[in-house]
Structure 1
Amino acid sequence: MPATAPHLHRTWFVTGTSSGIGRQLTELLLVRGDRVAATARRTHALDDLVAEHGDDRLRVFALDVTDPAAVRRVVDEAFAAFGRVDVMVNNAGYGLFGAAEEATDEQIVRQLDTNLLGPVRVTRAALPRLRDQGGGRIVQISSIGGQVGFPLMSAYNASKWGVEGFFESLRLEVEPFGIQTTIVEPGTVRTAFVSQGIDRTRPLEAYEDTDLGDYRRGMLAGTALPFIGDPVRIARAVIDSVDRDPAPARLVLGSDAYELGRTTLVQRLADLEAQRSVAYSTDAEDARG
């Protein structure tokens, strides 16, 4: 069982801190005495925290994670400002809602650029510094959508499945340097994500009289899913996970995430077992035991 270390004051780098989980993380970290390099596209949303805590423990940086040069510059500035960063949290993101054929090329590119390439950029910019200082933690805020597919969320699911694949591989590469990673998979969360953080496709008439049309209308009205996750409790669970050693490879948060994830993985395992004989039948003759 992972050991829980006593609380140490740490320095955190958190993207997407103007609202939602990122904002709650920043608030909780400052209350407990940690230092935070907080990034946001709308930095004025953090003016109240700067006034309360000062720039000795909170530094705010304007950052759009789709800008590679800005990512490298801001990561460098954050390490320079605090001397070291113990925990990198990739939280910035948004969702594209709509059927796959409805989305424009530009919408799909933006989705992948923000949710997949953005965390890759931030992480790659930080890795040399984390290695030089002897280690650290990287926390990737994903979603249960990184394990489970949802209708009208294909581009979003693609971004989350992709980023989870990246961190699955990265974990094996960086462990020898004392760098540990955790993928966080929340379910639904009571934030403004649906109303403010989602881009929408232009609906095609072909879908209007189908179950997907009903689902779309329910989602936009807020009645299709019960949003049950408490952003404060989720942020607290993320912080607590950093006190565990070794780091959990994945952190599933929310009863909906747990139930959906479990059902999907059980079915996936059953499908795999059913294909065992076919899988083995395709081995080369001289590779068979």
Structure 2
Amino acid sequence: MSLPKIWFSSSSGFGRHMTELALQSGDIAIATLRSPAALADLASQYGPDKLLILRLDVSKPDEIRVAFAKAKEAFGRIDVVFNNAGSGLMSEVEGTPDDVARAMFEVNFWGAANVSQEAVRFFREINVPAGGRLLQVSSSGGVQGLPAIGYYCASKFAIEGLTEALADEIRPEWNIKVTLIELGGFMTNAGRSMVRSVPPPAYIDIERKIATARAYLTVNPRMPSDATKGAAAIYKMALTPDPPLRFVLGKDSLEKVKKKGENLIAAAEASAPFSEGLGLDLSVLSARR
């Protein structure tokens, strides 16, 4: 009989579904969030040997280190880090206040980056035997930029690039697997909690009285996918022997990622003739020396 896995995650939004599934599956959950009281219902169902609830604001590196230290003290190891803390921002690029965009990047990029570093260190230096799974929650918006959420997409593009580099830096003997999860639209409370800026006048259709770039978004738009079913798919993938670097989840995300891949290939092929003849003439360089 295999030992229960120990999961570390932010337990709001999609992370709440992952925490509940891990507990229902007999695993152990370290649930982190800014307001621990939000998990009072789970705390009443599961004892401290199954559920550890910690206050954590991922924009504060010291709190990240403390959370991992408390996880070590409680359970001695962590098997899976579901790195999903994040915030949304609806704002046209031209009308986004710098301080608002930077605050989102503190969570979506720097927070995720700092959790990733601590997770890799923990997997390598604390776990015996060494190893673990880092599940990096991204979005189809980290592959294809979308109107009215440009800075959100930029934060996800940034964490995608960092994660690709991190995955290549990890030595095979550490037994650490990294997966980028590119989520489509799932029904959570993300729409209600999204920060919204005032649209610049130039982006408002005077006749229809709407901000055209964000017309496809509503206060809490109905998303095409069920978060509970999505969590089950992620759980299954995370426990496979060789999880992929990229895990695209949701039909809408599949369509966006496929289309972006096709467009990139087409762009490379169309640009190829312009790269002909750009090689350095080494004989000329040698003569100059």
Q: TM-score, normalized by length of structure 2? A: 0.91
Which residue in 2 is equivalent to 1:98?
A: 91
Alpha-carbon distance in structure 1 between the residues aligned to 2:42 and 2:148: 36
Alpha-carbon distance in structure 2 between the residues aligned to 1:191 and 1:171: 29
Cα offset, 1:175, TM superposition: 4.0
Q: How does 1:150-189 map to 2 (within 5 A)?
A: 150-176=146-172, 177-189=174-186
Alpha-carbon distance in structure 2 between the residues aligned to 1:27 and 1:91: 15
Deviations 1:153-201 (CA, angstroms, capped at 9, x unpaired): 11101110110111101111114211110000111111111112x1111
Please give the root-mean-square deviation of Cα atoms over the aligned residues, in Å. 1.9
Q: Which consecutive residues of structure 1, in runs of 5 or more, have no partner in the other structure? A: 1-5
Which residue in 2 is equivalent to 1:213?
A: 211
Deviations 1:245-289 (CA, angstroms, capped at 9, x unpaired): 2111111111110011111110111011111121233221239xx
Alpha-carbon distance in structure 2 between the residues aligned to 1:129 and 1:74: 12
Letter in 1 for 2:211: G
Q: State which of 189, 192, 197 in structure 2 corresponds to 1:195.
A: 192
Which residue in 1 is equivalent to 2:229?
A: 233
Letter in 2 for 1:11: I
Aligned length: 277
Q: State which of 56, 63, 72 in structure 1 corresponds to 2:65.
A: 72
Alpha-carbon distance in structure 1 between the residues aligned to 2:219 and 2:57: 29
Alpha-carbon distance in structure 1 between the residues aligned to 2:151 and 2:3: 39
Which residue in 1 is equivalent to 2:286?
A: none
Matched-pair contact (CA < 8 Å) for 1:75–1:122: no
Deviations 1:71-124 (CA, angstroms, capped at 9, x unpaired): 111111112211100111111101111111211111111111110110111121
Letter in 2 for 1:274: A
Q: Among all aligned residue pairs of Structure 1 and Structure 2, give the percentage whose two residues are the same amino acid.
A: 33
The higher-RCO structure (CA 8 Å, 6+ apart) is 1
Alpha-carbon distance in structure 2 between the residues aligned to 1:218 and 1:249: 31
Bigger Cα Rg = 2
Alpha-carbon distance in structure 2 between the residues aligned to 1:101 and 1:250: 31
Moved over 6 A (4+): none
Alpha-carbon distance in structure 2 between the residues aligned to 1:143 and 1:112: 15
Alpha-carbon distance in structure 2 between the residues aligned to 1:78 and 1:86: 11
SS of residue in 2 equivalent to 1:220:
coil
Q: State which of 4, 11, 15 in structure 2 corresponds to 1:9.
A: 4
Cα offset, 1:221, TM superposition: 4.9
Question: Which has the higher mean CA deviation after the structures are superposed, 176-185 or 127-136?
Answer: 127-136
Q: State which of 277, 280, 283 in structure 1 corresponds to 2:279.
A: 283
SS of residue in 2 equivalent to 1:275:
helix
Alpha-carbon distance in structure 1 between the residues aligned to 2:197 and 2:88: 11
Which residue in 2 is equivalent to 1:3?
A: none
Cα offset, 1:7, TM superposition: 6.5
SS of residue in 2 equivalent to 1:49:
helix
Q: Which consecutive residues of structure 2, in runs of 5 or more, have no partner in the other structure? A: 284-289
Alpha-carbon distance in structure 1 between the residues aligned to 2:235 and 2:201: 45
Deviations 1:210-268 (CA, angstroms, capped at 9, x unpaired): 89823424412556xx5111100111111111121211111111111001111111011
Matched-pair contact (CA < 8 Å) for 2:138–2:183: yes
Letter in 2 for 1:165: G
Which residue in 2 is equivalent to 1:137?
A: 133
Q: TM-score, normalized by length of structure 1? A: 0.91
Letter in 2 for 1:171: A
Alpha-carbon distance in structure 2 between the residues aligned to 1:221 and 1:120: 29
Given the alignment of the two structures, is residue 124 of structure 1 paired with residue 143 of structure 2, yes or no? no
SS of residue in 1 equivalent to 2:217:
helix
Q: How does 1:54-69 map to 2 (within 5 A)?
A: 54-69=47-62
Alpha-carbon distance in structure 2 between the residues aligned to 1:103 and 1:215: 13
Alpha-carbon distance in structure 2 between the residues aligned to 1:103 and 1:238: 33
Question: Which has the higher mean CA deviation after the structures are superposed, 212-221 or 23-32?
Answer: 212-221
Cα offset, 1:128, TM superposition: 2.1
